[in-house]
Amino acid sequence: MKQIIVLLSFILVNIGCKKPFSQSPETALALPLEKKPTNGSVVFIAGFDEGTNAYYTKAKQYFEGQGIQVIDSLFSLNEILTYINHQAENRIHFDEIHIVSHSNAWLGMSLKTIRNGERITLKTLQKTRAENQIKDVQNGITNDTKIIFHSCGLGENQALLQELKDTFTTTKAPKVYASTFFNVFGGKFAGHYLAKPYYTFYPTAESKGPAHLAKEFKSTYPQTQIDWFTAIKTRRETSLGEAYSFKFNIPVNWEFKFDNFSDIPVLKDKDAIMDWVSESQEMAEVLFELNIPIEKYRWKTEVRGRKLMIKGKTTVLCVLAPILQDRGKGEYQKPRVEDPNLYQIL
């Protein structure tokens, strides 16, 4: 009997909890305003830390140390735009707007489109803007305003960066900056620096060990002079300029419903699951967009009534190599946003 697909869901991340606001969005918008035209800078810490990752906390400490106003209660682009519009009512124009948000090539940005909305990717941002759920910038931005995204690797995604620029553009067009590298805050040797990422993948919970993974890195990046084995075993900065690593998971989940229980295919092992996934155009397209080999996922199936759930999960192992100054290795390269070798500028 013909298979009926009632739901094809691609789940990149499960965000089920939300940090209580240290300020409510309404409170943030009602911060004291100057009574005369003024220019300034503002930093939006657009996320909250979970587990042992203190990215947002360290970023907040860094910018507070620079004497820049920090807002840590707005977690969506729409809320940030609302804040800018609110400040503009009192004729405040911004020289620099910093937005701190996790990001990577597979999950997009942690920054949401709207409050409690989806993570920002090119598709979700285009969709939200087309549906007029994102507020237009009314004022507060000039042609000299710099919108600086501190989002790891965002500079690699020029299409998304252009869409973000369009979102901030009205009659005035600000410059938008994002690095192709990873942003690191609160490092052992610098308060803020950039690092070049290198990747490999393995089925979650099925690693063959550091020696095998080191060989994979060496095969993928044959011209890179990194002690891969040591970097894999090192999970934090130990000495200036030395590479270290971290890891995270990417899950993909699909659900299918059949007319009859007897129509559900029996997928006995990993190879059978991969064959079935490969034969599905919808599923194959998702994996193609992620650009992670199908064999790098741990595959499982579950049957509930007339529903078949297919679940895959891969672990991304990332090695970070801090960017050092060209001359000598005694100091990290300062993350100057005007440097085209470090940042994409639109």
Q: Which residue has the higher pLDDT, 62 or 328?
A: 62
- Mark whether 144 and 51 lie in a shared domain: yes
Greater confidence (63 vs 3) lies with: 63
Range of the domain at 235: 194-325
Q: What is the pLDDT of residue 4?
A: 33
Paired sense of beta strands 298-304 and 307-322, if any: antiparallel
| Other C-beta atoms lying within 10 Å of the C-beta of residue 109 | 26
> Taking a C-beta distance cutoff of 8 angstroms, is the pair 61, 186 a contact?
yes
- In the listed set 153, 180, 207, which residue is the last one of a domain according to the structure? 180
% of the chain beyond a pLDDT of 90? 73
Q: Is residue 61 part of a domain?
A: yes
Q: How many CA atoms lie within 13 A of 41 on its CB side?
A: 13
Mean pLDDT, residues 187-197 taken together? 95
The alpha carbons of the chain give a radius of gyration, in whole angstroms, of 22
Same domain, residue pair 168 and 47: yes
The rounded mean pLDDT for the chain is: 87
pLDDT score of 116 more than 70: yes
My answer on whether 175 and 203 are in the same domain is no
User: Can you tell me the distance from the alpha carbon of 74 to that of 113, in angstroms, rounded to the nearest whole number?
Assistant: 11
128 within a domain of the structure (yes/no): yes
Task: Compute the average pLDDT of residues 142-164.
Answer: 94
Q: Do both 34 and 169 map to the same domain?
A: yes
Mean pLDDT of all residues in 104-109: 86
One domain for residues 206 and 176: no
Asked if residue 283 belongs to a domain, the reply is: yes
Are 36 and 164 contained in the same domain?
Answer: yes
What's the whole-model pTM score? 0.84
Domain total of the chain = 2
Q: Tell me, yes or no, whether 335 lies in a domain.
A: no
Q: Give yes or no: residues 86 and 200 share one domain.
A: no
C-alpha span between 194 and 180 (Å, rounded)? 9
What is the separation, in whole angstroms, between the first and last Cα of the chain? 53
Is residue 19's pLDDT more than 80? no
Residue 329's pLDDT is 60
* Domain membership flag for residue 56: yes
Beta bridge partners, 179, equal: 343
Residues 58 and 198 in one domain: no
Instruction: Specify if 336 maps to a domain.
Output: no
Q: Say what the pLDDT of residue 40 is.
A: 83
Claim to verify: residue 173 and residue 200 sit in the same structural domain: no
pLDDT band of 30, cuts 50, 70, 90: very low
C-beta of residue 19 within 8 angstroms of C-beta of residue 76: no
pLDDT tier at 214, thresholds 50, 70, 90: very high
Task: Give the Cβ contact number of residue 89 at 10 Å.
Answer: 11
Q: Is the pLDDT confidence value at 52 over 90?
A: no
**Which residues does 173 contact at the CB level (< 8 Å), separation at least 6?**
143, 165
Cα–Cα distance list, 291 to 125, 200, 201 (Å): 21, 12, 11
- Are residues 89 and 163 part of one domain? yes
Whole-angstrom distance, CA of residue 327 vs CA of residue 262:
68
Task: State how far the Cα of 270 lies from the Cα of 257, in Å rounded to an integer.
Answer: 21
Q: How far apart are CA 144 and CA 124, in angstroms?
A: 28
Tally of CB atoms within 10 A around 85 = 17
Do residues 254 and 316 both lie within one domain? yes
Same domain, 165 and 235: no
337 assigned to some structural domain: no
Q: What is the mean pLDDT of residues 287-294?
A: 92
What are the residues whose beta carbons fall under 8 Å from the beta carbon of 53, sequence distance 6 or more? none
Residue 130, in any domain of the structure: yes
The pLDDT value given to residue 38: 56
